[in-house]
Amino acid sequence: MQVTVENVSELSRRMTVTVEDANVEQAVQERLKAIRPTVKTAGFRPGKVPMKMVEQSHGPEARRDVVDNLVQTSMQEAFTQEGINPAGPPHIDSMKEEGTSLIYTMIYDVFPDVKEIKLDDVNVEKTVAEVQDEDVDGMLETLREQRMTWEPLKRAAKEEDGVTIDFIGSIDGQEFDGGKGADVLVVIGNGSMLPEFEQQLVGTKTGQETTITLTFPEDYRAKELAGKTAEFAITVKSIAKKKLPKLDKEFATLCGVEAGVAALKKEVRANMNRELTTALKTQNKRKVMDSLTANNDINLPESPVEREAEFLMEQAKTNLRNQGVNVDGIPFDIDNFKDSAKQRVALSLLIGKIISDNGIEPEEARVKEVIDGIAASYEDPEDVLKFYMNDQQKLSEIQMMVVEDMVVEWIYDRVKVEEKTSTFGEVMNSAAA
């Protein structure tokens, strides 16, 4: 097999492959003979159809299969022979047969050769934060809120009370879709309903029937209701106030901690520290990687960027579907994902350069430390540890995480790091966003 390669542009190449002794005609005849016993034609028994007729009916398809297989096999051999890793699927530009040889030309993209990593005069902001006592207290209050009950009241409703109602909404005397509900709990002031609706429940009593009038905002999510005035016929079924459980041994047991409140606080703090560590690592890693791509401009081939953009677009669709959104009518435009795709492709090349130049490999102790951190949040950490150690794909994912952490540390050693002190709440809110 003969192979020649020529440059078409900075990142585009043309490869000509000559497969000698391809014997396409001979291979086609052998394939036709192989399928002849299965060919069915009226007037002939299976296996007795004349070869001429088999060739007429199945010859073109057999030729396509033979040539396709020959091209795919020789193409892989050619790339291996020349030590080439194409950036995307090649495009066959021309093809011909000369005697027993098959000659074809293909065009393909290559990744750019990253010469060096530039980090001169780069400043990277690193967020630092600690879990404070008030953060733990706030989390305990959240846990109490999650386990609260409602205590029935005989008095009139006021702010923060829970009012259970039946309601029927109408506009100009006509009921509208979504304007009807039964046994709906409305907590006055928490924003689950429009503020104008909730505030008119203040002062109502159990068993009372009343009417609430409100005007929907001009930017209301249901466009058919935006700006319109509606009346709601309300029946108050009950009024109750929140009753939070006491922060005692019984509550700790309810949260799965048998040793009392002190042990509960200790476990809550440990969980918060794990969450904070993960969130800080993710946030700071993103800042480092953004600095890496911002200071190392790379001319990228179009094909891997296109593939990455398609992946990001499909990922966005999947995320919306998981949220219950019907994406069929949403006009997704792949161009909206191109900038993110370019950054991700460039980042993979830059990280690869750092790893190869510095011989960075995952340290076994750090891999185990990451797995131990994941396992700590499960009931049986040992089972989780065995799961990761016995699943090569999962283990490889953890190893890559460790390598990326080592790359971040390598970059930190070569840039000016400016620490920014933050709070647990700020970091976690940023992570959620």
Model pLDDT for residues 292-320, shown as the tens digit of each residue:
999 999 999 988 999 999 999 999 999 88
pLDDT of residue 14: 94
pLDDT of residue 158: 93
pLDDT, tens only, 347-400 = 999 999 999 999 999 988 999 888 888 887 787 888 888 888 888 888 999 999
pLDDT of residue 60: 84
pLDDT of residue 104: 93
Q: With bands split at pLDDT 50, 70 and 90, how would you rate the model's confidence at 232? A: very high
pLDDT of residue 31: 83
Q: With bands split at pLDDT 50, 70 and 90, how would you rate the model's confidence at 7? A: very high
Neighbours of 332 (CB within 10 A): 13
pLDDT, tens only, 164-220 = 999 999 999 899 988 899 999 999 998 889 999 999 999 999 999 999 999 999 988
d(CA 179, CA 171): 10
* DSSP structural state of residue 415: S
Query: With helix as H, strand as E and coil as C, how does 11-50 read?
Result: CEEEEEEEECCCCHHHHHHHHHHHHHHHCCCCCCCCCCCC
pLDDT of residue 36: 82
State the pTM of this model. Answer: 0.70
pLDDT, tens only, 244-256 = 989 888 888 888 8
In this structure, are residues 395 and 374 in contact, taking their beta carbons and an 8 Å threshold? no
**Distance between the two ends of the chain, CA-based, in angstroms?**
56
From 130, 374, 379, select the one nearest 269 (Cα to Cα): 130
What is the rounded (10 degree) CA torsion for 252, 253, 256, 257? 60
pLDDT, tens only, 49-99 = 787 887 777 888 888 888 898 999 999 999 999 999 899 889 999 999 888
Angstrom distances, CA of residue 362 to CA of 346, 367, 382, 403: 22, 7, 22, 5
pLDDT of residue 279: 94
- Local structure of 260: helix, strand or coil: coil
Q: With bands split at pLDDT 50, 70 and 90, how would you rate the model's confidence at 433? A: confident
pLDDT of residue 282: 92
Which domains are present in the chain? 2-109 (3.30.70.1050), 123-133+259-325+332-432 (1.10.3120.10), 149-243 (3.10.50.40)
Percentage of the chain lying above the pLDDT 70 cut = 100
Query: Is residue 15 classed exposed, middle or buried when 0-12, 13-18 and 19+ CB atoms within 10 A define those classes?
Result: buried
The mean of the pLDDT values for the chain is: 90
